[in-house]
Each structure stands twice: as C-alpha cells, then as structure tokens.
Structure 1
C-alpha cells in the first residue's frame, strides 16, 4: 500500500472521512436531481419530485432504525454481539413489512400524489425496502464507530447518479428516472451486508435488548424524527397557502439555501451521536458539536451576506433578485435547523421521552402563526423565531438534565 493510499485510508477512518463521504453522496444525489429535472422537464419532474418527497418521509423509519442501533451499541458495548444480531433480524422484518404495506397502498399513493402511474407507486414500495435496510446496517457501523466502512456505504449511494445518467440517456421519462433511484438503493445494502457478514456470536447478553424493546425504541425515534421533518418542511406549505404565487415561489427559492445549510453539517450528527449515547461523553460531545455547527453557520451566513449576488445564482438567478437581501436570513434559518437536528439527536441519544412533544408544539405554532402572516418577510421572521425559540428551549433543557442526576440513580435525562 502506497503512502498516499495509507493517508487516504487513514482520513476515511476518521470523522473527517465521514464528512468527505457524506459530501460526495449528497453531491451525487444533487447532481442526479439536476440531471433529472433538466431531462424530464416540468411536467414529468413534478411527479418525480412528489415520489422523492414521499421517500423522504418513508426514510424516517430507516433513520429510526439507525439511531436505535447506534445508540444501543454505543451505550452498551458489552452487548454488541446480541444487539447486532437482533438488529439484523429486525431490520429485515421492518423493511419487508414496510414494503408490503406500501405495496398495498400503491393505488392510494397513485391517487393522492396524482401520478396517473400505478407502476411508479409500486416502485416506491420496492425502493423503500433497501432504503430501510441500509438504515439498520449504517446504525450498526455508526455505533461501532467503524467510520471507513460507514463512509464506503454512504458513498456507494452515488450509484444512483451513474445509473440515472445511463438510463435517462436511453429513455428520459419519470419511470426510468425513479428506476435508477430504486436500483441505486440496493448498492449500499449489498455492501453493508458484505461488511457485516461475520456476525459476532460471543458477548454478554441482556434482557434489555429484546425484539419488543428495540421495536419500541425504533418507533419512538421515528416519531421524534418525523416531528423534526414536519417542522422543517411545513413552512413551504404554509407559504403556498398564505402568500401569492410569486412570493411563495420566492420563499421556496430561499429555502434551497436553508436546506443546503441544514444538511451541510449533517456529518457532525453522524460522528457525534455515538458519543452522545455514552453517559461519560455526552455532555462534551454535545458542546463540541454545537460549537462546531455554530462556527460553520456564522462563517456561511457571513459569506452569503458578502457574496449575495453570487449566491443568488444558486437559488434561481436574477428572477429571484427580490430575496437577495434576505439570503443571509435563510442561511441563518438553515443553521438553526441544523442545530435543532443535532439537539434532537442528542435527545434520542439519552432517550428523553418528553422533549419531542416540544417539537410537535412548535410545529403547531408554526402552522397557526404562519397562516396569520401576510408577507414573505413576516413569514420568514416567524419561522426563524419559532425555530430559534425551540432551539433555546431544547438546549437549555438538555444541559439541565445532563447535569442533574436523580437521587435514585436514574438519570433525569432519561425521562424528559
């Protein structure tokens, strides 16, 4: 192995390697989206966007499985063999069950999304299976902090772009485009299963890691993450119902920047989550992660404020020039959402049971208050205020609970 190769392997075996892997994966997915939009045209791309958004909601189950596996392995390393074996069984049942439910619901999905294409709705059910499986595999690797293997699994998701280019050059229609998504989803599953082929057989066992207990935690994690997805996406729906079409389009363009900023530091969550699940590391891990995302957010917000004419090109060009002076606010909104995502994962890591209620309450406030606004600026201000208030609340509660053990020995952080 050459010195350069050794350095590359060394980098990919660290948290920095995860940042590189997730950056490449997201870049490939973004490139596929751009190619599909250009080749399909507005009519067909509308259907493509609808099913991709549905997959985003469905992926909450995969994220719930990943969080459950990573948390349990990090918090109970002595039971890693038992947890790994249980997760590999459960993830298959969960994925196949979800796929069958979606298959039965395919006619309803076709009607609700107005696809007029039952085969496309059926492919959603097929794609949901590998997308859910890889959540369990990634969670095991994340919990064991096997960053090189996890990075390779993430990067293998880029096969969507390769397949998409090949298939769309053959025939540019929405079925072919989504077929690339469905087929590309199997590559991480094959690689993940190969990496985990040697299941551990020795180690301590505990009654805490039964199938029922793991499923309960997965469902709780999934609903908490669903709350975050609902909160971070409902404002665009509110905009379409309270603003005219022009202003709603401007707001949606600004949200492109907000979403980029939300997912840019996602690697921080992946790397920090196992440490946040460990009682000895969680406070330090949360603090370092928050400071890292804040620093990145300040740097990006400053850059956007100084380079707004250039950044405007990324969100649609001069047709959206009316929001040029607000682009830094959208970047700030994305930073707040990135911090919220981090804190919510911290809540999942300590298995807080009540904090997620605050996210649903913020969702309700976002809808009610947002519908009362009458301008783009007012809506943007309200969204930033709600997200910021929730962030301050959750950060304050998290630090209070992490530093306040109960007298009976049970950490207070396990209850709220």
Structure 2
C-alpha cells in the first residue's frame, strides 16, 4: 500500500494550523509568480530584442501547456478528497493524460516552428518534452491537495518554482539562447516531478486509472476558458488600442493579476472541501467572502493611490498615465470569485454551467471589437462587464443548484 493510500483525510484543522498552511501556500504561489516575473526582466536584458520575443512566445506556450495539469490537479484532488486515495490510480490517470498531452505537443512542433518563425525545431521540441513533467506535477499537486497536506504542497510548489526559474536562469546564462533556458526549465520541472512522486508514496500504475479521463477533459477545457479570460483583455487591448496605450494597459493589467492571484490560496484550501456536497454551499460562501475581503484591500489601494501604484509597477515612464486602476483591480477580484464558482461546478459534475466561462469570453470579445475599443477605460470596462456577468450568473446557478438539491432531499 502506498503512502498516499495510507493517508487519511484530516478532519477540521485547528484555526492556527490552517492559517499557517494558508500563509505557506500563499507565499509559495506568490514567490513562484514573482520568480517568473524576475526571469522575464533578466531575459529582457540578457537577450537581444528579437531573441527575447522568441523567448517570451515559447514560455507563453508553457503557460498554455499547464492547463491540462490544472485540470488534472482539480480532478485528482476531488477524487482523493472523496475517499479514492489510491495513489496508483491517480498515477495511472496522470500517465495517460501526460502521454496524450506530450504526443500532441510533439505533433505541433512543425506548426510552432512556422508560426513563431523559429530557426529550427530544437526549441519547440524542448517545449513539447517539457509538457511531460509539467502534466505529471498536476497529479502530485492534486494528491497533496486532496489529502489536505497543504504544508507539503506549499513546499512542492516552491521547489517547482525554484527548479523552473533556477534552471531557466542557468540555461540562459550558460547558452544565451531561449533553447538553453527551456532545457533548464524542463530539468527543474523533472526534478520537482520526481520529488512529488516520492512525497506521494512512490506510487505504481494500476489498472482502471483511465476512468477519470472524461473528468480531466472537462476540467481542462473549463480551466482553459478561465486562463483565456484572465489574459484576454491584454490581447484585445493590443489589437484595439494604439501601441503606446496598449503598453499602458499592460501596466494596469498587472493590477488585475495581483487581485486575481492574491486569493489563490483560498481556492487551493477549499477545493477538497467542495467534494462534500452537504457542506458545499457553506464552503463556497465562506470562500467568496474571504476572496472579497482580500481583494477589497487591493481595490481600495488602487482607488486611493492609483498614480503611485502605476509608478511602482511601470516606473517613471508611466507616471503620467491616467489609468482606471480601481477597475483593473475589480476585474481581478471578479475573476478570483469566478474561479471559486468554477471549482464548485466541477465538484458538482455540472458540465453545462462551465460553458458560462466560454460565453463570458465571447461577450468580452464582442464588446471590445464592436463597441468599446476607443480607450483604455472602455477596454477594461468591457472586461469588467464580462467578468461581472459571469460572477453574477455563476452565483445564481450555484444558489439555484443548492436549493434544488435541498428540495430533493
């Protein structure tokens, strides 16, 4: 029997321990994101502009490539939290998903070479190979999350971030090429994946693990829609606005990311609890309240000290930019709420409601391309409207679903 199989899901933790775990997860996630930002800044100074463009596009592919891992983590965490703690079953499911994602990545290599105007296939091949450890890490994150070993999860997240960024920096300074940086990143993720396997009990594959593939596919497409929605306004701003204003918009979008990422630990902590249908309504309500409280601080700071925030993020060159910083913060807070609601719908096996995310994506695109495209304020307002509609309708669906279930009982 594996260690993962022996672990029991803990009961209610003492508030002080839960608080420490929340802080640990928050710090690990924040440090990982901050390290990725530092990598971008260093790469911009080490590489020539044309090569830096190649670097940025290739690493952006890894962000997209992480979506299947996010879906896999969500499904494994929920299955484990419901008592299916067989590490071998989760490992088998992860291996099958990893094989499919990696095969797709290698099949896309010729397309990527042509699309990104690469000199050869080497960099694209490394990206495809990196998808294997990246996807497997989703399994170990899910096992640790589902068994509520949040302290260990925080350590693995920190190790993964250090491995990815440390490896990328090592490869970057050694070779001065995007390919070298990607090789370092792949090595760091492989190390983290092996450590995750050890932490979760050195599981072995078993028969029947493929049965969760449908759940993974559903969660993956929902996560893809969320990732797209989080980044869509930047793409639309680049398309609709002059280059200078699009650059200013990118500074404001950093505030959106801050508001979105600040409550990320809330989602990590509550996801296993959402597997319990009886307490799901209370869990969602508390999670949304905590997210709102955290992001209320971000919105207040943005409203009161907007010019200072812009200067701190963008530097002196953006000191005169007249950005609606509070609206950017509002968009991020609404996205954080939408993520909690999405987790609840996935836990409820409600496949129709997750289509709301894709409808929100379509609404934002239509608003910008058809009407609100003449200023920074209009583009971010479109993002705010789309995410607000998503949050309101998603909350309504959540409330109705819980009430219907209560009447059935």
Aligned equivalent of 1:151: 154
Deviation at 1:288, TM superposition (A): 1.2
Contact between 1:61 and 1:222, CA under 8 Å: does it hold in 2? yes
Matched, 1:34 2:41: yes
Distance 1:49 1:348, change over 3 A: same
Aligned equivalent of 1:72: 79
Contact between 2:275 and 2:347, CA under 8 Å: does it hold in 1? yes
Aligned equivalent of 2:51: 44
Structure 2 residue aligned with 1:309, among 307, 310, 317?
307
User: What stretches of structure 2 of length at least 5 have no aligned partner?
Assistant: 1-15
Q: Deviations over 1:235-280 (max 9, x none)?
A: 2222222222222222222112212221221111111111112113
Aligned equivalent of 2:329: 331
Distance 1:401 1:10, change over 3 A: closer
State which drifts further: 32-41 or 332-341: 32-41
Contact between 1:134 and 1:189, CA under 8 Å: does it hold in 2? yes
State which drifts further: 355-364 or 169-178: 169-178
Aligned equivalent of 1:22: 29
Aligned structure 1 segments of 4 or more residues deviating by more than 4 angstroms: 9-13, 198-201, 406-409
Contact between 1:13 and 1:146, CA under 8 Å: does it hold in 2? no
Matched, 1:269 2:262: no
Let me know the Cα RMSD of the aligned residues: 2.3
Aligned equivalent of 2:6: none
- The correspondence of residues 210-229 of structure 1 with structure 2, limited to 5 A, is 210-229=208-227
Distance 1:241 1:10, change over 3 A: closer
State which drifts further: 259-268 or 32-41: 32-41
Distance 1:330 1:408, change over 3 A: closer
- The correspondence of residues 2-401 of structure 1 with structure 2, limited to 5 A, is 14-74=21-81, 76-77=82-83, 79-81=84-86, 84-157=87-160, 158-199=162-203, 210-372=208-370, 373=372, 374-401=374-401
**How many Å separate the matches in 1 of 2:286 and 2:105?**
40
Contact between 2:259 and 2:333, CA under 8 Å: does it hold in 1? yes
Distance 1:282 1:11, change over 3 A: closer
User: What stretches of structure 1 of length at least 5 have no aligned partner?
Assistant: 1-8, 202-208, 410-416
**How many Å separate the matches in 2 of 1:52 and 1:199?**
30
Contact between 1:12 and 1:148, CA under 8 Å: does it hold in 2? no
